[in-house]
């Protein structure tokens, strides 16, 4: 089964600074990749997904991710973060109908 690895467990960042969250996936013929955000004591909300086509994927709340097949990566970026972006972020890969999640990256935005 395919898996993902999130390379950073915690990312502190100042407000209005850019942020990048790193995610690598295990290689496969075809891959469907997702980024989810989880605010405290809430479920997961889909930020964006890569199914096929353009390698630059735009999502909600100003986030985007780039699918890089040669590097087997799917890094998430935002050019300018807000305090409200403080949350846990999960990268996931679809195996048939099941999502396999990384361990998560905690983003803490400071003023």
Alpha-carbon span 54 to 13, nearest angstrom? 28
Helix then strand then coil, % of the chain, to nearest 5: 5, 55, 40
- Nearest approach in angstroms of CB 9 to another protein is 8
Residue 95 bridge partners (DSSP): 98
Alpha-carbon span 24 to 6, nearest angstrom? 7
Q: Does 34 bind another protein (CB under 8 A)?
A: yes
Q: Which of 70/98 has CB closer to another protein?
A: 98
Residues 39-58 that bind another protein (CB under 8 A): 41-46, 49, 51
Q: Determine phi and psi for 62, rounding to 5 degrees.
A: 80, 5
- Nearest approach in angstroms of CB 111 to another protein is 25
Q: Does 107 bind another protein (CB under 8 A)?
A: no
Which residues bind to another protein, rule: CB under 8 A? 32, 34, 36, 41-46, 49, 51, 90, 92, 94, 97-104
């Amino acid at each position: 089964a395919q898996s993902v690895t999130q390379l950073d467990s915690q990312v502190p960042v100042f407000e209005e600074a850019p942020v990048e969250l790193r995610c690598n996936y295990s290689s496969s013929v075809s891959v469907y990749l997702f980024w989810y955000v989880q605010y405290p004591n809430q479920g997961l909300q889909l930020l964006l997904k890569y199914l096929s086509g353009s390698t630059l994927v735009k999502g909600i709340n100003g986030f985007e991710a780039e699918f890089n097949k040669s590097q087997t990566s799917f890094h998430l970026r935002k050019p300018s973060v807000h305090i409200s972006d403080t949350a846990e972020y999960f990268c996931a890969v679809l195996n048939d109908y099941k999502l396999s999640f990384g361990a998560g990256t905690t983003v803490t935005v400071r003023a």
